[in-house]
Structure formats: C-alpha cells, structure tokens
Chains A and B, each alone.
Chain A
Amino acid sequence: MTDELDLLRGANPVSADTGPWRDRPLDARAEQLLRRLPSRDRRRRTVQRTAWSVATAAAATVVALALTVSDSGSSPAVAAPRPLVAHVSRTDVPLAEIVRRARAAAGGSTEKSERGSHVQTWALAMESGKDAVTLPVESLTRWNADGSGSLLEVATDPRHPGRPVIADGTPPHAVHDGEVLRKATYPPGIHGANQDYFEDPPAGAAALREYLAVWSPGADRDATELISAVESFLTVWTPGPRQRADIVTLLSRIEGLRPAGKVTDRVGREGQAFQYTHSGSRHLIVLDPDDGRVLDVEETATRDDPEYRVKAGDVLSYRAWMS
C-alpha cells in the first residue's frame, strides 16, 4: 500500500537515472558555463538592469511602449520627473488609522473590485550609458470575466506633467494633446491587459497575499516583492472598498514601512505617504488617508549608479492610479 508521497514519487516527470538531466559528470556545455561564469556575470548584470524597469509589472507592455516613445522625436523635450516631496505635519494620519478607516469604509459596502485600471506610469529606461528619460504613459484598461476587454494607452503631454490625457467615457478616448500609442480590443481569453491576476481576488488580507504570490513569487515573504505585486495587481484591477482595506492592511504589516508625511502627487492629489527603503532604493507609497486607496507608488534610488547615470534621489519609476 502506498501513501500520497509515494504516488507522487512515481509520477516524477524528470528522472535522475535516465534522460537528459540524469546524474553524470558535467558535459562540455556545463563545463563551458562554469568557466565563463565570472565574465558572464558582468554581462548578465547589464542585461538584467536593462530589463528591470520593464519586467517589474504586469503592465510590462505599457512600460515598454514608454521606452520607445522617447525616440519618436515628435514630442517636446522631456525632463526626468522630480521625486515627490513629503512634508511632516501635525495633521498626518497614522497608517493604523488609515487601515481603520479603510476597514470601516469596507464594512457596509457591497461595491466589488472592477476589472481594469486607469494609471499613469513612468519608468527610467536603465540602458547602460544612455540618457533614457521617457514620457509617462497613461493607460486605461477594461476587461470582463471572460477576458475580453479594451486597452487605450496615451502618451502624456510633457508641457503639462500629470494632467490626465484619457477621458474615461464610453468608449474611453484621448483628450488634450495626448498621443495615442495603442488602442486595442481583446476577444475573450488571456491577453496583455489581464495576463496576470486573471482570477477574482479573494477576500481577506492573508488570502490576498497568497493570491498575489501566485503571480509574484516572494510577495508572501518579501516586502519589496509585496509592494511590486500590489503595483502589478492595481494595473489589472481597481479594488473595491474591501480589497482596498485588505491591501492597506497588507502594507501596514510591512516591517520597516515608515511614515513620510503628506504629499501632493503629480496629479495634484494630497495623500499620506509611507516609505520603505531596501537594497539601494526607496518605495514611497501614497495613500488616500480617508479610505486607504493607493494613489501612487514611486521608487527612487538611494545611491549612485554611474553605469546607468543614476544618482541617489533620482526617480526610477512611478505609478499614479487615476481611479
């Protein structure tokens, strides 16, 4: 009689005794890889850093477009965004109080999370030796339970930083001088706009964290990964009051998340900011103090990186959720 682990062992798809991955001395390819590791390391680092700003989010396509827009030459000169400035004041709202308010707002609400998001995104293109300041991109996605939906991406107007360039109507359309980068309608299925976090998010902070970790491994144990996962999630879903409360609850449990003060964000909204510093960068999370809604997440460098012309204090990326 066998137990479940024995059954599973019997279903092992890759054997140590046979097949291409069986135990044996290193083959020529593996030997070569070992010899090349130190030099390979330096090369890969560059590649990884280049990809970094693209790969951190589910909306990677949005960012990738942002990386190319700057080359179009048709837009006015673009300046790197300045970091948000937080001011400590007597009226600062503690995170615990924001959580309480969010929970209170969620208590009597039946409003559900909506598929889709409306967000302004910017990321520094970290290509070695290049000044890669790009235009922020505003995107509005809507999708249905079957995966069908639409996506509109518009380059923001550099003469009016932060000014929204998409009107959320039916259908949504570009306004002001926004240049439409992409407009797409998706049939049912899994596409760029909902590639991650397709399933409905669960209720409860612990369950939500586990859900986030399915697409962002590490979100269940690492603060930076959790923040990144929340950012990604918010590019796919617009949370309702309950999910907002769960998100702010998760954020409030991050050890090392410190109050930074009040912030007026790039869209002109006032929020309560909290910062988390780790491994050369600082995440500034701006919350609506009334209901815990995540308004912005900004990442700045905390030390110089000459290879990428990054100085301490430079903004590496930001997102501002418009809805």
Chain B
Amino acid sequence: MSTDDAFDAAYREHYWAVSRFVARRLDDQAWEVEEVVAEVFAVAWRRRADLPESPLPWLYGVARNCLANTVRGKGRYRRLLARLGHHEVTRGGRTVASPDAERPGSWVLEALSRLTETDQEVLRLTAWEELTVEELGTVLGCGRSAAAMRLHRARRRLREQIETLDPTERVPLGCMSDKAGRAGQADKDGHA
C-alpha cells in the first residue's frame, strides 16, 4: 500500500473519531469543529510519510497541536479553556452544585474541570477516546510508563474531586491496566 493509499484508508476509518476528539474540546461548535478537523487532516497529509501503522493516536496528537495552534494565535485558547471549565471554575464563574444538576454527568465534568489541563487531557483521552496506556503515550509524546504514571495520578485527583463534590460518593480504587480506557461500560446516570 502506498503512502497516499495508507493516508486515504486512515482518513476514511478515523474521520469521525477525529471529529469527536475535536468536538469534545470545542464544546461541539459544529463550524469550528469542521474547520479544525480540516486543518488536522491537512497537516496529517503533509506529514503522511510519518503515518504509523496504528494511525489514530498519531492523528489525535496532530489534532491536539492543531487545536492549540488554531486557538492560540486568535486568542481563543483562553476561551477554549474556559469552555472546558478550568478558568471559569477557578474564578467562580460557573457552578454545578450537585449530582442533581440538570445535565447528566455535569458534576463529573465539574470535578474534571477542577484538575489541571494536563490531568484533564489524560483522563479525556482515556475515558472518551478510549486509548490504551501505550496509545496515551503516543498522543502525549511520552513513554508508556510516564503515561501510566500520569494517568494514575490524574485518576487519583479526579477521585478526590468527585468525593469533594459529593461526599456520599465513595469511588472505589480503579485498577489501572493497558486496557483501562476500554474496560467497563459507561454508567449513563453518571454515578452509582
């Protein structure tokens, strides 16, 4: 298979996954998502000689950089962070009071938003993009053990935040494995 063919195959297979990756980080603003996804694949096309055998984590890595570049120069990165919750929360701009909040899982997102951007991204990649620890390392540009350590710490901090938000919620210690992101089924109610 030629490089161009491999790129075409990766594009067809992962276009929607990359779109979801971007949408999750842009609060699902359709036109912005399409704009960034187009940029992701334009960059990936230029770098298609580097396309690995398992291209999805690599594409996520490209998407991370594109998201940052897209929003940084235009002063949108702060707004992106605000949408993701970090800054609004730290300044008391948003409150999601309890597990009774309207949007399912919103208090979990609130707990997530209280973490550092680095921790949040590790957790999003694991829970939403369903990456293995190995793949996590590919996206974050670090080794497997470093990725595992980052995930371990991020999970612990998320657990602490969840318990802070809802003291009745006692989250059991999660087992971390290579397939941490793929184990288990989502709990639609957001908590047990």
Contacts and interface: CB of A to CB of B under 8 A. Distances in A.
Contacts of A217: 64-65, 68, 72
Nearest to A16: B20
Q: Which interface residue of B19, B106, B180 has the most chain A CB atoms within 10 A?
A: B19
Contacts of B189: 10
Interface string B108-121: 11001000111000
B39 interface: yes
B123 A8 contact: yes
Given A14-B23, A14-B24, A55-B69, A5 B46 contact: no
Interface string B44-57: 01100000000000
A43 B96 CA distance: 44
B8 A5 contact: no
Interface in A1-43: 1-16, 20-24, 26, 29-30, 33-34, 37-38, 40-41
A133 interface: no
Contacts of B46: 41, 45
Contacts of B108: 7-8, 10-11
Interface residues of A, number: 52
A198 interface: yes
Mostly helix, strand, loop or mixed at chain B's interface?
helix
Q: Which interface residue of A12, A41, A56 has the most chain B CB atoms within 10 A?
A: A12
A29 B20 CA distance: 16
A221 B187 contact: no
Ranked nearest first, the 7 interchain pairs of A and B with the lowest CB-CB distance are A55-B73, A11-B105, A3-B174, A9-B186, A217-B68, A8-B127, A11-B108
A233 to B, nearest CB: 13
Contact of B15 (A16, A30, A40): A30
B118 A215 contact: no
A41 B38 CA distance: 10
Given A10-B190, A14-B23, A221-B141, A5 B127 contact: yes
7 contacts: A3-B171, A7-B171, A12-B24, A14-B24, A15-B20, A55-B69, A55-B73
A13 to B, nearest CB: 6
B16 A8 contact: no
B45 A221 contact: no
A167 interface: no
Contacts of B15: 26, 30
A231 to B, nearest CB: 13
A14 B181 contact: no
A256 interface: no
A296 B186 CA distance: 52
Interface in B9-32: 11-12, 15-17, 19-20, 23-24, 27-28, 30
Contact of A5 (B28, B81, B180, B192): B180
